[in-house]
Structure 1
């Protein structure tokens, strides 16, 4: 019995359609949107973590100086250049004195005149004292008994006047002579004291001007190296502006910046491994000598100063450095790769695979090592299987396929 060709054609087309639908369903379930999510898993183990703090810093000088004038002026000359080593007290530069030398000369002349005036006042006082001694009158600085002698003479004249041996006019003239001599001596003493005060004032003014003149000579405050020359001869600078910048090459250290979220345990005394940008394959030993009390609120970093145990040669200020600070190792505890930790619905945890079912397990974490290992305080048990990497975002009871290694999208096996 022959089959109807039209029916055979329909059966063939129907079979092809069923095969095509089966192929599409297989593709959708294995590689399409309905396919299980490929994941790579790991096991929770026990061990010890050696936590460390990592940060980036730059080389700076602990002791540096900005050398400049205390008053505004014009630079007369600069005697040193960048890179030159200077010694304490060595002249570095000089400012233009303008009229300071002439003002010093004027003060010297005024001081000499005041000294001459003082000498003249002293000679006048001596002359008046001599005349008073000759006439037995009161002098400015009489010898012992001089006042008593003058008083006795005056008393005798008063007695003689009472007995009418001398006239009242003569007695009055003698008293006037004593008063006049006393006034002259007092005036001479005042002139002498004023001359001494003028001399003291002029000497103080000259000392101040001489110090101001000396400040125009810029000298090295300590043994240092010139790092910058900010002004040249003829440049006008203001008070406090740097003409030269110096640093102590033996005081270099690293100003380290550490993320505040990873700075737990940062303290002075921690051992450090310093890797300079110019020496990428060499780890230099150092130590944290100071932790700054003020953190950077903009970059959310803490600052620390790390000193070299042995300062290497050729280190330049401003060079970048990577610093690793080693903290004490923890006791044995549960460990987990940091890549397995995720955030889900506002909680920190991991995706745990138990009896073939996927569930989110919140965890409490401890310290973390630089190798990515993190300490698990609560939430997991030893031997638990957790998702390390997943092809897409996971959700509870999602269909998954565990693979040995998760390949990136587009990669070929």
Structure 2
């Protein structure tokens, strides 16, 4: 009997224990530590924009007539000289047109010779009073029409002759082929870009500026340029050109930065960074790890000095640095900001402030 009663007694005892626990004090959640820092004064703050070294003059080369590309004579990156052939169109149609115009010139010349002889004959007959004045005037008009027709045909022949030369695309000046947009066999229209030529001469850096900061830039503004091949040296420059319209895809504004020095060892296609000083003084900065964002709105967690509760504080930030980010608005120097683990915090959470060495931090009230 004892053996049958034991299984029944165990659940009853468990219920008694659970009831006893329920009648006790509620379990208090543990207060988690949070590493906090105070905003530090920021030094000179600059905006940094990546860019690419480009030629100051970039020409888009195109055929002046349409046709089928028969030859491509250069490759991307190849250096070319002025008037060097770059590509050729199929010349068959152009040559046939030129031959047709040449035949028309010969016909117009023969016709002019005929009407000239007819005019001279009627002049002789008019002197001998063997032809009327109206007959001579008619012959004179035919001669003048034949002469005008020959001039017209010669002009059209010269146009056809020029077009025969347009079947060969030549470099307008010395430079480097930066882009190729056609291949052999493609049919191109007159004026369609075939090559982009980066002309020899000055080099610039092309950067993209965001919409929200575009009004802070102006032509002639002083900047500094750093080449990736020479990271320890900055070259003085200035903004030479600002695009008046944003790119429809990236929604950024293109800007060109010219080097102020005469000779800079910058090669086409090199990566670069452009440093633009921020106008005014940015007093504070926090570690990048302290910054969080929701729906594109940045914020930090500030610890209330009275009860150590977290307060979500929206901020306005500047350009990111390597380790810190400037805070333009939203913080005071006396605030204590959570510097790590911000993604797991919540509004109103109580924390135990500690420093980087895990020592307790005594929060001081703001003055």
In structure 1, the partner of 2:124 is 127
In structure 1, the partner of 2:239 is 288
**2:286 counterpart of 1:337:** yes
Q: CA RMSD in A?
A: 4.1
**2:32 counterpart of 1:83:** no
In structure 2, the partner of 1:246 is 197
Query: When the two structures are aligned, how many residues end up with a matched partner?
Result: 325
In structure 1, the partner of 2:36 is 41
Taking structure 2 as the reference length, the TM-score comes to 0.70
Which of 44, 53, 71 lines up with 1:59 in the alignment? 53
**2:103 counterpart of 1:106:** yes
User: Could you tell me how far apart the structure 1 residues matched to 2:145 and 2:294 are?
Assistant: 92
- How far did 1:248 drift? 0.4
Structure 1 residues 365 and 406: alpha-carbon distance in aligned structure 2, compared to 1, 3 A threshold: farther
- Higher helix fraction (1 or 2): 1
User: Could you tell me how far apart the structure 2 residues matched to 1:79 and 1:299 are?
Assistant: 32
Summarize the alignment of residues 215-294 of structure 1 with structure 2, pairs less than 5 Å apart: 215-227=166-178, 235=185, 237-240=187-190, 245-261=196-212, 265-294=216-245
* Deviation by residue 1:266-287 (Cα, 9 ceiling, x = unmatched): 3333333333444445444332
1:357 is paired with a residue whose SS is: coil
| Contact kept in structure 2, 1:290 and 1:305, CA below 8 Å | yes
Structure 1 residues 394 and 69: alpha-carbon distance in aligned structure 2, compared to 1, 3 A threshold: same
Summarize the alignment of residues 192-203 of structure 1 with structure 2, pairs less than 5 Å apart: 192-203=143-154
1:250 is paired with a residue whose SS is: coil
Structure 2: tracts of 5 or more residues without a match: 1-26, 360-367
| Contact kept in structure 1, 2:174 and 2:200, CA below 8 Å | no
- How far did 1:330 drift? 1.4
Structure 1 residues 295 and 397: alpha-carbon distance in aligned structure 2, compared to 1, 3 A threshold: same
| Contact kept in structure 2, 1:68 and 1:244, CA below 8 Å | no
Q: Larger RCO: Structure 1 or Structure 2 (Cα < 8 Å, ≥ 6 residues apart)?
A: 1
- How far did 1:359 drift? 4.6
User: Could you tell me how far apart the structure 1 residues matched to 2:135 and 2:175 are?
Assistant: 64
Taking structure 1 as the reference length, the TM-score comes to 0.63
Larger radius of gyration: 1
